[in-house]
Amino acid sequence: MQKMEEVTYWIALKLMGSLSNGEIRSLIDNFSSPQAVFEATKEDLCRILGRNLKAVEDILCFNQWEEAKKEGEKMKAHGAKIITYLDPEFPELLKNIHDCPPFLYVKGDLKKEDINIALVGSRRASSYGIITAENLARGLALAGITIVSGLARGVDAAAHRGAIAARGRTIAVLGSGLDFVYPPENKSLFAAVAQSGALVTEYPFGTPPRAKNFPVRNRLISGMSWGVVVVEAGEKSGSLITARLAAEQGRYVFAVPGDINSPLSRGTHQLLKEGATLIEKVEDIFEEISPQIRSIKPSIVRKEELPTEANEKEALLLSLIGSRPIHGDMLIQETGLSAGDVMSILLTLELKGLITQLPGKYYQRTP
């Protein structure tokens, strides 16, 4: 159980803004705790921070304790916690990247034994991209791999759904505070990810999902993962940033080939030209990573063992969803159920792996 006083000191270090992530870690490494940093002398602080005299003065004159305490209270109210780089649950791989955050806000649970693979791609993914992402994530999760993504529309959401459908673990790295559900249509998935793994961010509460935050958070997606799989990406896709960060961090980079006539294939095909490993199935990923991660002995769960029972309302919806896509509004009209009930049941069916959501709120039976 975290002590609120200790949490307040960690938050205070980030509140100042004059300290880099690396400098915060240097201070903790030298003084053992964030509280000791604020009790240090000017001489000792200067010894660690060198020419960053602004940060030295900010520490010595820090007066934002009320703000730091309120941030801790918001964290507690949202059922979240902070995991610092000193904690055993903090992703080991993440500690070695450039600009590693000193702590993460976490809702859910990070586990020391997690073996992470990131799966990212276009927000405007085609049905091919959605189905491919779900199937890859499902297969990896069945093999005991934790799926990391960004909870965005399209491929990211499909990756999380695939992992949850396999009753596996999944981690969503956000570009905002934990009090923002973005995009808003992922509200139910947001809650499901927190139950099946963790929602993670380095941004404090109250931070909206600004465009500039997402390229920054991408270094965490790749940094905590052994490899990054890109499924559909345009020429200027943010997924390419994640893939290139992965390469810089010494991670594996995988790309799924697509239709040569589709703009959504240009990014992935460019990655393949640059040396990414072409993958078509889960086994292709294991073939690459298994020599590196010899400790992994995935426990394969047969799909038949997964719970797929449907209750009465779920059965009604399933009877209307076939191999041809049908729009969510049509399902509301045909069943006479409320929009909220239909959306909730559809998410449940997705998480059971019985149906697949396509772009534009269309649904079809999972092959």
User: What pLDDT, in 10s, does the model give residues 223-278?
Assistant: 999 999 999 999 888 899 999 999 999 999 999 999 999 999 999 999 999 999 99
pLDDT, one tens digit per residue, over 6-28 is: 899 999 999 999 999 999 999 99
In the chain, pLDDT over 90 holds for what percent of residues?
71
pLDDT, one tens digit per residue, over 113-129 is: 999 999 999 999 998 99
pTM higher than the cut 0.85: no
Distance CA 261, CA 281 (A): 22
Predicted confidence at residue 297, as pLDDT, reads: 46
pLDDT over 60 (residue 303)? no
Three-class SS of 69-108: HHHHHHHHHCCCEEEECCCCCCCCHHHHCCCCCCEEEEEE
What are the structural domains, with CATH classification, of the chain? 1-77 (no CATH), 116-303 (3.40.50.450), 307-365 (1.10.10.10)
DSSP at 323: S
Residues 6+ apart with CB under 8 A from 29: none
Distance in angstroms between the alpha carbons of the first and the last residue of the chain: 44
Confidence of residue 295 (pLDDT cuts 50, 70, 90): low
Per DSSP bridges, beta strands 170-173 and 197-201 are parallel
Predicted confidence at residue 304, as pLDDT, reads: 38
Give the count of alpha carbons within 13 A of 89, CB side only. Answer: 15
